[in-house]
């Protein structure tokens, strides 16, 4: 899967959890979930569950803890997909 | 001098009316909210009728964001938030989004349990070894204070935000706790109320106790029969009632509508001594609770125009009337008018006290005593104590000045409030 495609899918997942639409519209790899998108930290748990379901992968707790921005999320998803 | 405490906002999600206008219409016209419940029938409950507020998806989305509704499965929080926000707006208060919360306003919103359906869903997931897939909202939906936490956040409340719990006395107790806090100058206004979940997992324990009405499964609207000779148990209900309780000075300053004044009240317990037990009230404690409420309110028993009773439609109704006659020293045609909202809503359990208090307050504000339904065959033990005319079968339009409201709950706990039509 291409990176752009992956980010597009990630955007669909993230959308309901963000309250900052401007930052969401201008989302890049450097976008931070909490600081830029104003996502409630508790909702990161839900985002991980949604990612697992969409990509049919399992994300370990250690990966989850560092998954705080788009770049890291993409890296983790790519690694998990390549392991399949 | 004690601060005067008044009611400036009302909100309700009751089985026979969601929103104050619909509810007022229902209680004036004897409209029952009791329906046949397919789920209870499927689960082979002896009582297959119940009272649930009718909440459309459209209404839900007016009070909750799309995100909040993801995986949302707590009827108690749903009812409480809708009633609470209605009361807040009804009081003419706005929802601000400032950096600081509103330090002068809080909420005391009672509940018996919270999100019991969410709890059930989670228990199944946990037992299937899926604990990591529960999602982020299980705690907020199932903690008993879930309802006050949701309300506190939506309204930005900065004073006390808590949930009290005292079984079927919860709602009445919440109002008295708010009264105390305002009277002592610790808050200007408190959103007080209570909520109760719907469904078999909350009602099952009562069905098991054989205290629910089981003979009217084919005639739901006739199933809740407080004070009737043919009463045979209560009909389970649910919903929420919310009241903005406010310091009189603050209410006047804001130019708010004042629905009624709280003169005072009392809460106590029979300690499960004497004829009291986990499930039955100690009569001495009930009478003392009423008497102490009068003393606290600085009124005499003769000033009470009407009683909004607990009166659930079990065998204890006659005993409750007897306790009122003894506590007030009034009987026969000297007894005040008395009614029970449960004839139309069923027993809304932890929500009962707040929903029924709202009915009492509407009577003071608009000038009526709502009629009881399903008790044209008054129990002979009741007619032996009081004049049947004191139990109106149809709504009467008079101007009551003072109404006493009492609630009693499991654990032998009691609460009694005295409401008065507001005069400057």
Question: Which of B237, B206, B416, B218 lies closest to B341, judged by CA?
Answer: B237
Q: Are B418 and B300 in contact (CB under 8 A)?
A: no
Q: What pLDDT is stored for residue B1 in this prediction?
A: 67
CB contact under 8 A, B135 and A17: no
Interatomic CA distance for residues B155 and B248, integer angstroms: 21
Chain A residue closest to B71 (CA)? A46
CB contact under 8 A, A16 and B133: no
Burial B328-354 (b: 16+ CB within 10 A, else e): bebbeeebbbbbbbbbbbbbbbbbbbb
CB contact under 8 A, A16 and B70: yes
Question: Which of B81, B91, B82 lies closest to B18, judged by CA?
Answer: B82
Ordered by start, the domain boundaries in chain B are 5-260, 264-420
What is the value of pTM for the model shown?
0.96
CB contact under 8 A, A16 and B66: yes
CB contact under 8 A, B136 and A43: yes
Beta bridge partners of B6: B246, B261
B136 touching chain A per CB within 8 A:
yes
Q: Residue B382: phi, psi to the nearest 5? A: -80, -45
Q: Are B259 and B8 in contact (CB under 8 A)?
A: yes
B129 touching chain A per CB within 8 A:
no
Chain B residue closest to A46 (CA)? B135
The domain defined by B264-420 folds into Peroxisomal Thiolase; Chain A, domain 1 (3.40.47)
Q: Are B261 and B4 in contact (CB under 8 A)?
A: yes
What ipTM was assigned to the predicted interfaces of this complex?
0.88
Domains and CATH numbers, chain A: 3-83 (1.10.1200.10)
B1 touching chain A per CB within 8 A:
no
Tokens 């000075």 belong to residue: B249
In A, which residues are within 8 Å of B67 by CB distance? 16-17, 43
Non-local (6+) Cβ contacts of B377 within 8 A are B228, B229, B230
Q: Are B231 and B225 in contact (CB under 8 A)?
A: yes
B278 touching chain A per CB within 8 A:
no
CB contact under 8 A, B67 and A17: yes
Quick: pLDDT tens for A15-72: 999 988 899 999 999 999 999 999 999 999 999 999 999 999 999 999 999 999 999 9
CA quadruple B186, B187, B191, B194: dihedral, nearest 10: 0
B66 touching chain A per CB within 8 A:
yes
Q: Which of B67, B135, B137 sits opposite A16 (nearest CB)?
A: B67
B135 touching chain A per CB within 8 A:
yes
Q: What pLDDT is stored for residue B172 in this prediction?
A: 98
- Cβ contacts from A onto B, under 8 A: 16
CA distance B187 to chain A (A): 30
CB contact under 8 A, A46 and B136: yes
CA distance B120 to chain A (A): 19
Domain B5-260 has CATH 3.40.47.10: yes
Interface test with B, best of A34, A42, A50, A63 (most B CBs within 10 A): A42
B97 touching chain A per CB within 8 A:
no
Tokens 């309300």 belong to residue: B151
Q: Which of B66, B70, B135 sits opposite A45 (nearest CB)?
A: B135
Non-local (6+) Cβ contacts of B7 within 8 A are B243, B244, B245, B246, B258, B259, B260, B261, B262, B361, B419
Segment 339-358 of chain B within 8 Å of chain A by CB: none
pLDDT tens, residue order, chain B (424 aa): 689 999 999 999 999 999 999 999 999 999 999 999 999 999 999 999 999 999 999 999 999 999 999 999 999 999 999 999 999 999 999 999 999 999 999 999 999 999 999 999 999 999 999 999 999 999 999 999 999 999 999 999 999 999 999 999 999 999 999 999 999 999 999 999 999 999 999 999 999 999 999 999 999 999 999 999 999 999 999 999 999 999 999 999 999 999 999 999 999 999 999 999 999 999 999 999 999 999 999 999 999 999 999 999 998 999 999 999 999 999 999 999 999 999 999 999 999 999 999 999 999 999 999 999 999 999 999 999 999 999 999 999 999 999 999 999 999 999 999 999 999 8
CA angle B204, B208, B211 (to 5 degrees): 100
Interface test with B, best of A24, A37, A49, A62 (most B CBs within 10 A): A49
Q: What pLDDT is stored for residue A19 in this prediction?
A: 84
CB contact under 8 A, A43 and B133: no
CA distance B70 to chain A (A): 10
In B, which residues are within 8 Å of A49 by CB distance? 133, 135
């Amino acid at each position: 899967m291409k990176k752009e495609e992956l980010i597009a899918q990630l955007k669909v997942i993230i959308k309901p959890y963000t309250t900052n639409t401007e930052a969401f519209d201008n989302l890049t790899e450097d976008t931070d979930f909490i600081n830029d998108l104003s996502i409630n930290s508790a909702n990161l748990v839900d985002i991980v569950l949604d990612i697992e379901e969409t990509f049919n992968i399992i994300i370990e707790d250690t990966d989850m803890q560092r998954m705080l921005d788009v770049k890291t999320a993409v890296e983790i998803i790519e690694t998990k997909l390549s392991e399949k | 001098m004690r601060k005067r405490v008044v009611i400036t906002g009302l909100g309700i999600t009751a089985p026979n009316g969601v929103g104050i206008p619909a509810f007022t219409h229902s209680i004036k016209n004897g409209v029952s909210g009791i329906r046949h419940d397919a789920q209870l029938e499927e689960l082979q409950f002896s009582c297959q009728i119940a009272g649930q507020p009718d909440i459309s998806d459209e209404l839900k989305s007016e009070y909750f964001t799309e995100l909040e509704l993801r995986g949302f499965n707590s009827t108690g929080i749903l009812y409480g938030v809708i009633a609470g926000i209605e009361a807040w707006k009804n009081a003419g208060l706005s929802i601000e989004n400032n950096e600081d919360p509103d330090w002068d306003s809080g909420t005391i919103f009672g509940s018996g349990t919270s999100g019991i359906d969410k709890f059930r869903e989670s228990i199944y997931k946990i037992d299937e070894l899926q604990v990591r897939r529960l999602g982020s909202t299980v705690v907020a939906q199932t903690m008993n204070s879930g309802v006050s936490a949701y309300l506190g956040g939506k309204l930005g409340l900065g004073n006390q935000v808590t949930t009290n719990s005292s079984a079927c006395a919860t709602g009445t107790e919440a109002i008295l706790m708010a009264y105390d806090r305002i009277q002592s100058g610790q808050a200007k206004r408190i959103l007080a109320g209570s909520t109760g979940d719907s469904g078999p997992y909350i009602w099952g324990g009562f069905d098991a106790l054989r205290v629910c009405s089981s003979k009217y499964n084919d005639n739901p609207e006739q199933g809740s029969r407080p004070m009737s000779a043919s009463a045979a148990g209560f009909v389970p209900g649910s919903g929420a009632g919310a009241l903005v309780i406010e310091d009189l000075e603050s209410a006047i300053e804001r130019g708010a509508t004042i629905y009624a004044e709280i003169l005072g009240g009392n809460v106590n317990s029979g300690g499960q001594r004497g004829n009291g037990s986990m499930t039955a009230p100690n009569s001495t404690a009930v009478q003392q609770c009423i008497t102490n409420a009068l003393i606290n309110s600085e009124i005499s028993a003769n000033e009470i125009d009407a009683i909004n009773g607990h009166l659930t439609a079990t065998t204890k109704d006659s005993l409750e009337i007897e306790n009122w006659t003894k506590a007030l020293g009034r009987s026969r045609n000297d007894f005040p008018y008395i009614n029970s909202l449960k004839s139309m809503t069923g027993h809304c359990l932890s929500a009962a006290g707040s929903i029924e208090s709202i009915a009492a307050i509407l009577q003071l504000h608009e000038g009526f005593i709502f009629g009881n339904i399903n008790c044209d065959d008054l129990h002979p033990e009741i007619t032996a104590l009081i004049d049947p005319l004191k139990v109106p079968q149809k709504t009467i339009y008079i101007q009551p000045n003072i109404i006493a409201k009492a609630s009693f709950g499991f654990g032998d706990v009691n609460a009694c409030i005295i409401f008065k039509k507001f005069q400057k």
